[in-house]
């Protein structure tokens, strides 16, 4: 195996890089990978820019995610952030820090996943630059750039009392997928075990797929902006927690109707990582296909978020510092 | 100490973030930190974008670098990459992955270092976004954006036979600083020890400062472009190694004159991390102040790089995979 699938520690940076670049989509940039920096065309006069990091342990486990999954997810979570501004993703930069015993095939799988996520979720976006470095902890930091194509950015701060609250994409399924991993694919000591899909129902497999290869509704970001969305964000940490952030930024409260949250409102309210789009629209708006109404915006009350008129009394979502437990991940 | 300087694991992400944002320069962006993504003004129609990562172990040791040093260096190395395209840095995004026992004061020191490096090296650039996550390995991935202000980007591929080869900034001093750390500030087992500056000569302290807080000539990037530089890159891994990359991209060879490389040509040829600018200019050009001629470009020969007419027979520079030794760093 070692001869045909060498450790990256036995390769030069140039050789690793060629293996990656060969698998990526052709550059669409003015200057693509290979120089000190990329140069991306920006017709709009503004560029949208965001970065999000996946770290082995807190964000993924190699026993559960393969290289393709990781590349896919690292791209998808950043594409969702660009979409949440009302923008169209145009380029990714990928900073990859990996142990020197990482195999070349792993790096190639990661590149395949990055490309597939772009091709599927944001076909005009490609990896246009990046950085390779050695680390004890496998870490993937992806920067995404995007174009507003003349639109005003849709901020978290624009929601107004009377607006409807709508969501596009799944809610709570990624969290259910994560629960399946922790409950069904760990050993007695809590260490992750390889996933045996044959042990799962179709719905469980589907929840797991949302956790491992999320499909945020990236194309709906600009569509929502064009439809008059007053505020928008992606639901990365949990609907109640993220809605509370939107409410705080807008100086309003958000009231959810649990009956609109599907068959498992508890997961929908607290589960993170689906990267659905949460948006507010003026009352009476014709919502774009793909969005469904889940609540209303009210004047700022005692609680930033209520569910069925009451304060939310369950878990609100995931805080990466407060909630992180090194033993559990 | 714990009460006044809490672990980040005892804070919420929002509280950590506020501690950082309070210390950064005011936003210059259309949308600054706090939303799903930043929105940066781009008058030029193109944006320069690059990412570079510092990882605890391979790239720095906490016994040697304090938080301010790290923030400074993480900014500086990326500002240099933007400059090497002939561009002016306009914004940074900072992805910070840190252990949950990191102290708040450390995060604040890092923010201070990021800001100070921008203020000093690229005063129109500020941190406009980022990401916080938990990791066993302290990791700082910085994305830098920049504007060409109407210039053509200066690529690695534009050098032509007959051009002069010039450098702005120090060469080899960062490597000498690193050697001081490994030779003078490690214990018998090779573990890093706190630096005692009083044990060093003035020149040693100066070399150490170049290693810990490099000052690449960022403002000279656009100046070199305006002066007609045909190719440019930053010297991050070593002059011979980086010049060989420029030579390969341009289809030429580079011939250095060791007498032009200062009192320690060996360090100048092989030492990385100074982040000097290496540029080629048409013969007879008036070089901008700050650049000095160190060689000439020739037709492509057997060797991509020669020194005093002979193949370079020493170390060419640092390859992050091939040269990394987990025991030594």
* Burial category of B43 from C-beta neighbours within 10 Å (exposed 0-12, middle 13-18, buried 19 and up): exposed
- CB–CB contact B321 A58 (8 Å): no
- Position A327 confidence tier, pLDDT thresholds 50, 70, 90: very low
| CATH no. for A8-147 | 3.30.1330.10
Asked if A152 reaches chain B (Cβ–Cβ under 8 Å), the answer is no
Percent of chain A exceeding pLDDT 90 equals: 90
- Asked if A216 reaches chain B (Cβ–Cβ under 8 Å), the answer is no
Strands in B38-41's sheet, in edge-to-edge order, are: A126-134, A88-98, A139-147, A46-55, B38-41
Provide the pLDDT for residue A1: 46
The distance of A204 to chain B (nearest Cα, Å) reads 28
Cβ of A234 under 8 Å from any chain B Cβ?
A: yes
User: What are residue B41's DSSP bridge partners?
Assistant: A46
Burial class from Cβ neighbours inside 10 Å (0-12, 13-18, 19+) for residue A111 reads buried
> What does the longest C-alpha to C-alpha distance in chain A come to?
65
CA distances B217 to A8, A274, B34, B274, Å, are 33, 44, 31, 10
User: Phi/psi class of residue B114: alpha, beta or left (left: φ > 0; alpha: ψ in -120 to 50)?
Assistant: alpha
A132 near B CB under 8 A: yes
**From CA B258, how far away is CA B232, in angstroms rounded?**
20
| Mean confidence (pLDDT) of chain A | 94
Q: Provide the token pair at B209.
A: 């400062």
pLDDT for position A2? 53
Fold of B156-169+220-311: Phosphoribosyl-aminoimidazole Synthetase; Chain A, domain 2 (3.90.650)
Are B139 and A136 within 8 A, CB to CB? no
- Window B:154-173, CB contacts with A under 8 Å: 155-157
What is the 3-state secondary structure of chain A? CCCCCCEHHHCCHHHHHHHHHCCCCCCCCCECCCCCCEEEECCCCEEEEEEEEEEECCCECCCCCCHHHHHHHHHHHHHHHHHCCCCEEEEEEEEEEECCCCEHHHHHHHHHHHHHHHHHHCCCCEEEEEEEEECCCCEEEEEEEEECCCCCCCCHHHCCCCCEEEEECCCCHHHHHHHHHHHHCECCCCCECCCCHHHCCHHHHHHHHHHHCCCCCCCHHHHHHHCCCCEEEEECCCHHHHHHHHHHHHCEEEEECHHHHCCCHHHHHHCCCCCEEEEEECCCCCCCCCEEEEEEEEECCCCCEEECCEECCCCCCCCCCCCCCCCCC
Q: How many CA atoms lie within 13 A of B22 on its CB side?
A: 11
B-interface mutation test, from A11, A16, A36, most B Cβ less than 10 A away: A36
Cα atoms in the Cβ-side hemisphere of radius 13 Å centred on A305? 27
Size of interface A-B (CB pairs under 8 A): 264
Band the pLDDT of A125: cuts 50, 70, 90: very high
Res A211: pLDDT: 96
- The answer, for A44 touching chain B at a CB cutoff of 8 Å, is yes
Say how far residue B95 (Cα) sits from the centre of its chain.
16
Q: Which of B224, B182, B218, B212 is nearest to B66 (CA)?
A: B212
The distance of B299 to chain A (nearest Cα, Å) reads 21
Out of A37, A234, A326, the one facing B49 most closely (by C-beta) is A37
Question: Is the confidence metric ipTM above 0.90 for this complex?
Answer: yes
Decide if A139 and B144 are in contact by the 8 Å CB cutoff.
no
Distance CA A273, CA A250 (A): 23
Q: Is the pLDDT of residue A115 over 80?
A: yes
Nearest CA in chain B to A232: B36
Q: Which chain A residues are within 8 Å of B85, Cβ to Cβ?
A: 31, 35-37, 39
Task: Identify any residues that bridge with A89 across adjacent strands, giving them in sequence order.
Answer: A146
Length of chain A: 329
8 A C-beta contact, residue A52 and residue B130: no
Half-sphere exposure of A284 (CA within 13 A, CB side): 0
**Are A46 and B45 a contacting pair at CB < 8 A?**
no
Residue of B nearest to A33 (CA): B50
Residue A326, chain B, CB below 8 Å: the answer is: yes
CATH number at A156-170+215-311: 3.90.650.10
CA distances from A255 to A159, A172, A326, B204 (A): 12, 18, 34, 63
User: How many C-beta atoms surround the C-beta of residue A254 within 10 A?
Assistant: 29
B156: closest chain A residue by CA: A35
Give the pLDDT score at B326: 46
Which among A11, A93, A97 is the nearest to B49, CB-wise?
A: A93
Q: How many CB atoms lie within 10 A of CB A44?
A: 19
How far is B26 from chain A, CA to nearest CA, in Å?
A: 17
Minimum mean pLDDT range among A260-264, A279-283, B318-322: B318-322
A84 contacts in chain B (CB < 8 Å): 36-37
Measure in Å the smallest separation between the Cα of A178 and chain B Cα atoms: 18
What distance in Å separates residue A200's CA from the closest CA in chain B? 31
pTM of the model: 0.94
- Domain residue limits, chain A: 8-147, 156-170+215-311
Chain A hits for B59, CB-CB cut-off 8 Å, are 133
Whether B12 and chain A come into contact, CB under 8 Å, resolves to yes
Q: A14 pLDDT band (50/70/90 cuts)?
A: confident
Residues in chain B: 329
Query: Rounded to an integer, what distance in angstroms lies between the CA atom of residue B304 and that of residue B310?
Result: 11
Asked if the model's pLDDT at residue A303 lies above 60, the reply is yes
Closest CB to B156: pick one of A35, A52, A85. Answer: A35
Residue B93 sits at the chain A interface (C-beta within 8 Å): yes
- Distance from C-alpha of B236 to C-alpha of B281, rounded to nearest angstrom: 20
Residue B300 to residue B246: CA distance in whole angstroms: 12
Neighbouring C-beta atoms of residue B126, cutoff 10 Å: 22
**Is 70 exceeded by the pLDDT of residue A34?**
yes
Q: Which of A4-8, A32-36, A163-167 has the highest mean pLDDT?
A: A163-167
Please give the Cα distance from B224 to A291 (Å, whole number).
51
Q: How confident is the model at residue A315 (pLDDT cuts 50, 70, 90)?
A: confident
> Which of B129, B135, B136 is nearest residue A50 as measured by Cβ atoms?
B129
Selected for mutation to probe chain A from B85, B87, B141, B237 (highest A CB count within 10 Å) is: B141
Burial (CB < 10 A; 0-12, 13-18, 19+), residue A249, is middle
Chain B residues close to A144, C-beta within 8 Å:
37
Q: Which of A1, A48, A52, A21 is nearest to A132 (CA)?
A: A21
Q: Which residues pair with B129 in a beta bridge?
A: B93
Q: A139 in contact with B at a CB cutoff of 8 Å? A: yes
Q: What is the pLDDT of residue B328?
A: 44
**B240-279 residues touching A, CB cutoff 8 A:** 249
pLDDT of chain B along its 329 residues, tens only? 456 899 999 998 889 998 899 999 999 999 999 999 999 999 999 999 999 999 999 999 999 999 999 999 999 999 999 999 999 999 999 999 999 999 999 999 999 999 999 999 999 999 999 999 999 999 999 999 999 999 999 999 999 999 999 999 999 999 999 999 999 999 999 899 999 989 899 999 999 999 999 999 999 999 999 999 999 999 999 999 999 999 999 999 999 999 999 999 999 999 999 999 999 999 999 999 999 999 999 999 999 999 999 999 877 776 666 665 544 44
Q: Do B42 and A44 count as a contact with CB atoms less than 8 A apart?
A: yes
Give the pLDDT confidence score for residue A4 in this predicted structure.
87
B307 bridge partner residues:
B256, B310
Q: Does A35 touch chain B (CB under 8 A)?
A: yes
Which chain A residues are within 8 Å of B321, Cβ to Cβ?
8-13, 16, 100, 132, 134
Least confident of A143-152, A248-257, B32-41, B308-317: B308-317
Question: B322 and A249: CB-CB below 8 Å?
Answer: no
The answer to whether the beta carbons of residues A182 and A222 sit under 8 Å apart is no
């Amino acid at each position: 195996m070692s001869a045909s699938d060498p450790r990256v520690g036995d390769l030069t940076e140039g050789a690793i890089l060629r293996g990656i670049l060969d698998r990526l989509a052709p550059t669409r940039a003015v200057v693509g990978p290979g120089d000190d920096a990329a140069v991306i065309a920006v017709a709009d006069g503004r560029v949208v820019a965001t970065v999000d990091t996946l770290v082995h342990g807190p964000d993924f486990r190699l026993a559960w995610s393969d290289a393709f999954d990781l590349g896919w997810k690292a791209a998808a979570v950043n594409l969702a952030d660009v979409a949440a501004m009302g923008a169209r993703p145009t380029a990714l930069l990928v900073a990859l820090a990996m142990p020197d015993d990482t195999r070349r095939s792993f790096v190639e799988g990661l590149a395949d996943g990055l490309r597939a996520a772009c091709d599927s979720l944001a076909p005009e976006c490609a990896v246009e630059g990046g950085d390779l470095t050695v680390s004890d902890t496998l870490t993937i930091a992806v920067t995404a750039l995007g174009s507003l194509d003349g639109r005003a950015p849709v901020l978290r701060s624009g929601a107004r009392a009377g607006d409807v609250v709508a969501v596009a994409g799944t809610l709570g399924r990624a969290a259910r997928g994560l629960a399946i991993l922790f409950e069904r694919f760990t050993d007695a000591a809590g260490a992750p075990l390889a996933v045996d899909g044959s042990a799962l129902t179709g719905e469980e497999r589907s929840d797991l797929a949302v956790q491992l290869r999320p499909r945020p509704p990236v194309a709906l970001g600009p569509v929502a902006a064009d439809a008059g969305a007053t505020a928008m964000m992606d639901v990365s940490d949990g609907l109640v927690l993220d809605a509370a952030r939107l409410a705080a930024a807008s100086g309003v409260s958000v009231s959810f109707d649990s009956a609109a949250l599907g068959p498992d409102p508890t997961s929908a309210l607290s589960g993170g990582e689906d990267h659905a789009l949460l948006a507010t629209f003026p009352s009476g708006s014709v919502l774009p296909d793909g969005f469904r109404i889940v609540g209303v915006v009210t004047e700022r009350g005692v609680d930033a978020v209520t569910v069925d008129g009451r304060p939310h009394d369950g878990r609100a979502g995931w805080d990466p510092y407060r909630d992180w437990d090194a033993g559990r991940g």
